[in-house]
Amino acid sequence: MLEVGTKAPEFSLPDQDGVMRSLADWRGQKVVLYFYPKDMTSGCTSQACSFGEMYPQFREKGAVVVGVSKDTVESHKRFQEKHSLPFTLLADPEMEVLKAYEVLVEGLTKTGRISRKVVRTTYLIDEEGVIVRAFGKVKARDNAAQMLGELE
């Protein structure tokens, strides 16, 4: 996990509509950047829907919410539409941003294959692009409320 006080790594990834988005697009706003394992799974759906329900409150506090996973643009589009998510989802199937933000861990499966898993992690990035809060192994259901509290 990246350290608080460090500059957030820049990135350019496609969103759920295939539009390339960069961290710089949100300069001047607080960014709640959350990394999650997989679209349509129970924990990830709970987390995303919580952020969606609270999104107006995030906007009132001058923050945007951005979710990132290794899923595809098409998967993100289905996920967004099914759950009416009002925020941006970024596709990182090459896992470059996941690596840059140190949320990808490797391990061996029971069959001896190398597996890469995303550790559910959330960063709060300030208007200048500096990480001001970092939370690893967050609880999916509680993450949105936790991050809203960090904006107080």
Active centre residues (catalytic): 44
CA distance 132 to 113: 36
117: tokens are 């898993």
Chain centroid, CA 89 distance in Å: 8
Question: At which residue do the structure tokens 């470059």 appear?
Answer: 96
CA distance 88 to 35: 12
